[in-house]
């Protein structure tokens, strides 16, 4: 057997085994949590297929999925995984678990050869699963090989509430803008674009650009393959919406997902995108069934939902708690929707207000829009996806305004602090100036006192330089004026007839034939440092005979 035959043979045998895998009960699904960076909670899971073959043991999806595509059984196992996932959501629902969306990977083959929309709907109907508990992950290749067909199928699925994710984004050739017209809700950024803290600033900017652009297109962003805390904190800081990866959990059997949700296992709070409180949505409508349909529509968006049956009650709800976005009916008994939103604007100008109405009384709407009472006017019956994205946009707008306000407040606070600081500083300077004025005044006072003394006084600085001579000293020794600035030891012999030894405080000497006693008086050391301040030499005239 030649070397090339071995892989070909293995492929043949493996292919044959794979086509029997369903019948032999060798396939199963594992589930990997998809976690919100806003709430930290598991919001969904990705279904990942595993094959344990009786003959070949564990075969990786990287090997058997392309094989299934080549040997023609991809449609069959694709339909199997859709059905399994639907059964699992129903099982979780009946076990009382909160809604959890299962995202199923769809092969390009399922688009090309099968009728994806029909297959998905068949699985939903057969199992009784809620379409909004199901998501599908499709790749760019699948979309772009026959864009028209893909678009039609995805539109159909999205219309019934199935979430569409673009898988492995970044590995294909298309840009987000090329996908703009595709009906998708979420972008799964491939793990090669999930930078760690050690990554270059350029690769972080690429990830940030993908996130910003996706948000600009009203798409949410999930980062795949998150393994480290560094990746997590970078993603959170750059506004990513969800993460999936080994950091939180590897793919696990359904039972372990249930345990994690019940526990609940959540992301550490320090990694969550900063939000002081939960987004709050106020729904106002006099029809009970509309309120419950809207509540159902928004229940998985993570908003805190508050409802009111009319304008008066709506105002009451607004008084009870902070609200970010209001969606109000127009025609209600008592107060009209526009009147209610007008009052809401006057009382809570920061709220973002939308009208959802079946009636269009043009003039009052134009007036309300023009005076800024309403941000958007939407009509009943509504399109679920459109309404969801309008409300999401309203929250983003509100958060942007909040952020601006926060920044403005921060700047104002910083300015106030700066002003207080400069005030304190100028106060300090003023006090310092006053003190030095005082010192100068007292120095001048001391100097004047010394000048008025009838005794000759010479001042020496700590180094022994002659620094000062009072009036009497200048009268007695006129040459002293030239000696100021000279070293006393050098100048004194000429001036006083001898040096003055440092050790002895009194020395008798004669000047101009008269007897003087030189008294050396050290000046008080100044300050805590006890610095030497120099000496004063007093020349006290002696009665003749007193001198030695
Ligand atoms: P995918 O859809 O991109 O799935 C994510 C893959 O990344 C999974 O590999 C998952 O186990 C792996 N992964 C998750 N977190 C991390 C992480 O932190 N680090 C690393 N290194 N890997 C992580 P898996 O399960 O081997 O699946 C590989 C691919 O096979 C999937 O890529 C998907 O394209 C395909 N596949 C799996 N199940 C199905 C299926 O039921 N139908 C179809 N059509 N394709 C499937
Ligand atoms: Mg996937
Ligand atoms: Mg992927």
Contacts of 45 (CB under 8 A, 6+ apart): 31, 32, 33, 34, 100, 101, 102, 103, 257
Residue nearest to atom 3 of ligand 1 (CA): 168
Q: Separation of 37 CA from ligand 1 center, angstroms?
A: 21
Instruction: Give the number of other Cβ atoms within 10 Å of residue 391's Cβ.
Output: 26
Q: Separation of 92 CA from ligand 2 center, angstroms?
A: 21
| Predicted local confidence at residue 379, as pLDDT | 86
Q: To test the ligand 1 pocket, which listed residue (29, 32, 61) has its Cβ within 8 A of the most ligand atoms?
A: 61
- Residue range 5-17, pLDDT digits in tens: 457 888 899 999 9
- List, by residue range, all CATH 3.30.450.20 domains of the chain: 453-541
- Burial class from Cβ neighbours inside 10 Å (0-12, 13-18, 19+) for residue 418 reads exposed
Residue nearest to atom 17 of ligand 1 (CA): 225
State the ligand closest to the CA atom of 142.
Answer: 1
Q: Separation of 62 CA from ligand 1 center, angstroms?
A: 8
CA-closest candidate to residue 42, choices 227, 276, 245:
245
Q: What is the pTM of this model?
A: 0.62
Q: To test the ligand 1 pocket, which listed residue (32, 48, 69, 230) has its Cβ within 8 A of the most ligand atoms?
A: 48
Give domain 280-404's CATH superfamily: Response regulator (3.40.50.2300)
CA-closest candidate to residue 218, choices 271, 164, 295, 294:
164
- Which ligand 1 atom is at minimum distance from the Cα of 168? 3
In whole angstroms, how far apart are CA 300 and each of 95, 133, 163, 201, 427? 18, 10, 12, 35, 58
| Predicted local confidence at residue 547, as pLDDT | 43
Question: Which CATH number describes the domain made up of 453-541?
Answer: 3.30.450.20
Q: Separation of 51 CA from ligand 3 center, angstroms?
A: 18
Q: Separation of 48 CA from ligand 3 center, angstroms?
A: 10
- List, by residue range, all CATH 3.40.50.2300 domains of the chain: 280-404
- Which ligand 1 atom is at minimum distance from the Cα of 48? 38
Dist CA 460 CA 440 (whole Å)? 19
- Which ligand 1 atom is at minimum distance from the Cα of 227? 18
Give domain 30-47+74-271's CATH superfamily: EAL domain (3.20.20.450)
Strand intervals (E) in 173-289: 186-189, 220-223, 242-243, 280-284
Question: Which residue numbers in the chain have pLDDT < 70?
Answer: 1-6, 197, 274-277, 360, 409-410, 412-414, 416-418, 420-421, 424, 525-531, 544-548
Is 328 strand, coil or helix? strand
- Which residue ranges have their beta carbon within 6 Å of ligand 1? 32, 47-49, 60-62, 65, 78, 81, 105-107, 137, 167-168, 224-227, 245-246, 251
């Amino acid at each position: 057997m030649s070397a090339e035959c071995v892989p070909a043979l293995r492929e043949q045998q493996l292919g044959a085994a794979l086509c029997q895998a369903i019948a032999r009960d060798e396939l199963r699904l594992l589930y990997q949590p998809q976690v919100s960076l806003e709430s930290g909670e598991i919001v969904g899971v990705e279904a990942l297929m595993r094959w344990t073959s009786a003959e070949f043991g564990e075969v990786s999806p990287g090997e058997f999925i392309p094989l299934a595509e080549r040997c023609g059984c991809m449609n069959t196992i694709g339909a199997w995984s859709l059905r399994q996932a639907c059964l699992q959501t129903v099982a979780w629902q009946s076990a009382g678990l909160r809604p959890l969306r299962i995202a199923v990977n769809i092969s390009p083959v399922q688009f090309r050869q099968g009728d994806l929309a029909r297959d998905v709907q068949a699985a939903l109907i057969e199992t009784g699963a809620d379409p909004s508990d199901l998501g599908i992950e499709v790749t760019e290749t699948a979309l772009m090989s026959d864009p028209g067909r893909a678009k039609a199928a995805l539109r159909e699925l999205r219309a019934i509430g199935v979430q569409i994710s673009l898988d492995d984004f970044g590995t294909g050739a298309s840009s987000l803008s090329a996908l703009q017209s595709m009906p998708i809700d979420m972008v799964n950024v491939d793990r090669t674009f999930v930078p760690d803290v050690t990554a270059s600033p350029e690769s972080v900017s690429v990830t940030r650009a993908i996130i910003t652009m996706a948000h600009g297109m009203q798409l949410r962003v999930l980062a795949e393959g998150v393994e480290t805390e560094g990746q997590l904190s970078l993603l959170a800081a750059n506004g990513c919406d969800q993460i999936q990866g080994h950091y939180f959990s590897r793919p696990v059997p359904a039972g372990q997902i249930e345990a994690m949700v019940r526990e609940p296992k959540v992301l550490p709070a320090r990694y969550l995108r900063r939000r002081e409180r939960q987004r709050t949505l106020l729904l106002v409508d006099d029809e009970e069934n509309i309120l419950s349909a809207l509540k159902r529509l928004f229940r998985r968006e993570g908003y805190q939902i508050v409802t009111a049956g009319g304008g008066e009650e709506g105002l009451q709800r607004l008084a009870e708690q902070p609200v970010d976005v209001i969606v109000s009916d127009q025609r209600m008994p008592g107060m009209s929707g526009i009147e209610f939103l007008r009052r809401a604007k006057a009382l809570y100008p920061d709220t973002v207000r939308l009208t959802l109405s079946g009636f269009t009384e043009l003039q009052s709407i134009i007036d309300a829009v023009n005076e800024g009472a309403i941000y958007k006017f939407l009509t009943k019956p509504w399109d679920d996806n459109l309404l969801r994205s309008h409300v999401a946009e309203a929250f983003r707008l509100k958060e942007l305004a909040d952020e601006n306000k926060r920044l403005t407040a921060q700047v104002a606070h910083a300015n106030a602090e700066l002003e207080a600081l400069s005030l304190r500083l100028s106060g300090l300077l003023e006090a310092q100036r006053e003190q030095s004025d005082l010192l100068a005044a007292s120095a001048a006072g001391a100097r004047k006192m010394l000048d008025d003394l009838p005794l000759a006084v010479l001042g020496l600085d700590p180094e022994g330089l002659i620094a000062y001579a009072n009036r009497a000293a200048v009268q007695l020794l006129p040459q002293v004026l030239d000696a100021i600035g000279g070293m006393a030891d050098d100048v004194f012999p000429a001036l006083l007839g001898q040096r003055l030894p440092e050790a002895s405080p009194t020395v008798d000497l004669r000047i101009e034939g008269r007897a003087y006693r030189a008294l050396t008086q050290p000046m008080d050391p100044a300050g805590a440092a006890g610095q030497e301040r120099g000496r004063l030499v007093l020349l006290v005239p002696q009665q003749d005979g007193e001198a030695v």
